[in-house]
Amino acid sequence: MAELQQEVEVNHEALANFLRESNLQAFREEFLELHPYDQGQFYLALLPEERMNMYHYLSPKELGDMFEALEEDQESIEIYLEEMDSKYAADMLGSMFADNAVDILNQLDKSRVAGYLSMMDAENANEIKALLHYEDETAGAIMTTEFVSIVANQTVKSAMIILKEAAKEAETIYYIYVVDREEHLLGVISLRDLIIHEDDMLIEDIMNDRIVSVNVADDQVNVAKTIRDYNFLAVPVIDFEEHLLGIITVDDIIDVIDEEATSDYSGLAGVNVEEVTENPIKAASKRLPWLITLLFLGMSTATLISHYETLLSEASILAVFISLITGTAGNAGTQSLAVAVRRLAIKDENEMNFGHMLISEILTGLVTGFVTGFTIMFVVGIWKTNFMLGFVIGMAMFFAITVATVAGSLIPMLMDKLGFDPAVASGPFITTMSDLTSVLIYFNIASLFMSSFM
């Protein structure tokens, strides 16, 4: 593995030298032998003037093959496209698989998208336009229209002829879809089935008519679950009248899974982790809105504590345990939130309903609250030689953890029921809210038993 990595680094160094020396032939020979991913990594490491040379050395199709494997943020993509001649950029986008071109174009403003489409070959432009109007994060938005389809009443031999011709443009040829004259999806046949059956056999006799498909309006997360559950390399996309519109391949689903995981982590962290920047001002501007919001929410906790100043002045020992109770409850709430978001992400029709999930979390909160409260009661009782004080702290811990656990699961479940992304019920928000409820619980219990432990 180390030797392979070293070889790639040597290739990159040699390529950079060919660019600086304007050695066109040597650069093309070396560059085009690399895997598209390695081409992309080399491209990202170049200076702007070095990238300009690449645009002169590579055809739009060759650069497009590299861009297929390039995963970059919106700002970087815009910079790369602006560097290119507009017609060159349009031809490059037109040479890419339609779904990948749409992924890039969706990051640009509408005027630039219209400009590129107007300069493309009409056929490529029409394919891309057909995908651009689908709602984001749906099957339609991530599907590709480059697939192979055949009709049921033809032979294996004629199907192989069609396959060989269509394979030049198709994103995958492992599944061949069977349609009627109106493009309704009738069945599917694998490349293996075509190869092993006799040339004169009819497609309708060997195709699989028990088709698993997704609707063009389905959420991309549901599409990912379908491909995961059935171990597909691709899944067909149909409309409400069962016309075959396109396919979604497993490489697109990997991107969806990565995107969803990043989104969930961003929600739990309260910051967009995709927008990584080395500029401290930009980084701060991305994080400040949540922090300022939580600051004001945290002020309510401070205000609540000030409301109990008299109690604290009479029993200053209570101040020692404020952070212990709020911190533990916050941790419990964050744990519950993470489990709830994960459970919602993998739920299916056979899993427990909302009521059962809520009861399960309440019982979990009661058990964890009881064990934690019982433990801290004895620790404080022995430490301060005051078991009544330990009882107060233990009771506060029990109720604070129970409430935080229930809130941590209830909030994302309610958001899911209302149609919102449950991941936006972020960890910092749950923690701050747990602080507020924990303080309220703690001081009310302490007020009830104050005469007993003082």
Task: Look at residue 263 and tell me if it is in a domain.
Answer: no
The helix (run of H) or strand (run of E) holding residue 234 is strand 234-238
Tokens of 410: 């209830």
User: Do 412 and 285 share a structural domain?
Assistant: yes
Q: Is there a single domain that holds both residue 218 and residue 303? A: no
Confidence of residue 107 (pLDDT cuts 50, 70, 90): confident
Distance between CA atoms of residues 131 and 140, nearest Å = 7
Residue 386 has pLDDT above 50, yes or no: yes
DSSP secondary structure code for residue 138 in this structure: B
In a domain, 269, yes or no: no
What CA–CA distance (Å, rounded) separates 9 from 3?
10
Has residue 320 got a pLDDT over 70? yes
In total, how many domains does the chain have? Answer: 3
Is 36 contained in some domain?
Answer: yes
pLDDT for residue 184: 94
DSSP state of 146: -
* C-alpha–C-alpha distance, residues 236 and 186, integer Å: 11
Sequence-distant (6+) residues with CB within 8 A of 209 are 186, 187
Token duo for residue 235: 């899944």
Statement: residue 421 has pLDDT above 90:
no
Asked if the model's pLDDT at residue 426 lies above 70, the reply is no
With beta carbons less than 8 A apart as the criterion, state whether 32 and 63 touch. no
How do residues 19-28 score in pLDDT, each as one tens digit? 888 888 888 9
Residue 346's pLDDT band, with cuts at 50, 70 and 90, is low
Q: Are 84 and 93 in contact (CB under 8 A)?
A: no
273-294 pLDDT, tens digit each: 455 555 677 667 666 676 677 6
Instruction: Pick the last residue of a domain from 137, 169, 184.
Output: 137
Q: Are 91 and 201 found together in one domain?
A: no
| Domain membership flag for residue 265 | no
Q: Return the half-sphere exposure (C-beta side, CA atoms, 13 A cut-off) of residue 232.
A: 26
Q: Same domain for 158 and 297? A: no
pLDDT in tens, 119-140: 998 888 998 988 888 888 899 9
Q: What is the pLDDT of residue 9?
A: 55
Percent of the chain scoring above 70 in pLDDT: 85
Same-domain status, 339 and 430: yes
Please list, residue by residue across 7-23, b when 16 or more beta carbons sit within 10 angstroms of its beta carbon and e when fewer do: ebeebbeebbebbeeeb
User: Do 412 and 423 form a contact (C-beta atoms < 8 A)?
Assistant: yes
Please choose, from the candidates 416, 409, 427, the residue with its C-alpha nearest in 3D space to the C-alpha of residue 290: 427
**Token output for 324:** 């212990």
Q: Residues 253-277: pLDDT tens digits?
A: 888 877 766 665 555 555 554 555 5
CATH number of residue 375's parent domain = 1.10.357.20
169-194: per-residue pLDDT in tens? 888 899 999 999 899 999 999 999 99
110-119, 124-133, 331-340, 409-418: which range is least confident on average? 409-418
Residue 433 in this model has a pLDDT that exceeds 70: yes
Q: What is the pLDDT of residue 137?
A: 84
Q: Are 58 and 28 in contact (CB under 8 A)?
A: yes
Choosing from 104, 137, 170, the residue where a domain stops is 137
Q: How far is it, in rounded angstroms, from Cα 18 to Cα 21?
A: 5
Q: What pLDDT band is residue 436 in, cutting at 50, 70 and 90?
A: confident
**Which CATH number do you get for residue 224?**
3.10.580.10
The dihedral sign for the CA sequence 298, 302, 303, 305: positive
Residues 6 and 83 in one domain: yes
% of the chain beyond a pLDDT of 90: 37
How much helix, strand and coil, in percent to the nearest 5, is found in the chain? 70, 10, 25
Q: What is the pLDDT of residue 4?
A: 46
Instruction: Give the H or E element holding residue 70.
Output: none
- Range name among 31-35, 164-168, 344-348 with the lowest pLDDT average: 344-348
Return d(Cα 262, Cα 435) in angstroms, integer.
27
Mean pLDDT on 73-94: 88
For residue 137, give the 3-state DSSP assignment: coil
Mean pLDDT computed over every residue of the chain: 84
Nearest Cα to Cα of residue 87 among 126, 118, 129? 118
Beta strands at 244-249 and 234-238: parallel, antiparallel or unpaired: antiparallel
In a domain, 274, yes or no: no
Q: pLDDT, tens digit, for every residue of 355-380?
A: 777 788 889 999 999 999 999 999 99
Q: In what order do the strands lie in the sheet with 244-249?
A: 214-215, 234-238, 244-249
Phi and psi (nearest 5°) for 251? -65, -35
415 pLDDT above the threshold of 80: no
Is the confidence at residue 7, as pLDDT, over 70? no
CA 69 – CA 52 distance, rounded (Å): 19
Question: Is 268 part of any domain?
Answer: no
Task: Count Cα atoms within 13 angstroms, Cβ side, for 123.
Answer: 6
Question: In terms of domains, do 359 and 431 share one?
Answer: yes
Residue 28: which domain range?
2-137
| One domain, residues 116 and 182 | no
User: Could you report the per-residue pLDDT of 195-254, keeping only the tens digit for each?
Assistant: 999 999 999 999 999 999 999 999 988 898 899 889 999 999 999 999 999 999 998 888
pTM exceeding 0.85: no
CATH number at residue 111: 1.25.60.10
Q: Does one domain contain both 125 and 68?
A: yes
Question: 129 and 160: one domain?
Answer: no
70 φ/ψ angles, rounded to the nearest 5 degrees: -90, 125
Evaluate if residue 350 carries a pLDDT over 50.
no
Average pLDDT over residues 12-20: 84
SS3 438: helix
pLDDT of residue 423: 59
Tell me, yes or no, whether 367 lies in a domain. Answer: yes
Q: Are residues 43 and 163 in the same domain?
A: no
Question: Of 137, 161, 187, which one is at a domain's C-terminal end?
Answer: 137
Answer whether residue 261 is part of any domain: no
304 with 430, same domain: the answer is yes
The pLDDT of 69-91, averaged and rounded, is 85
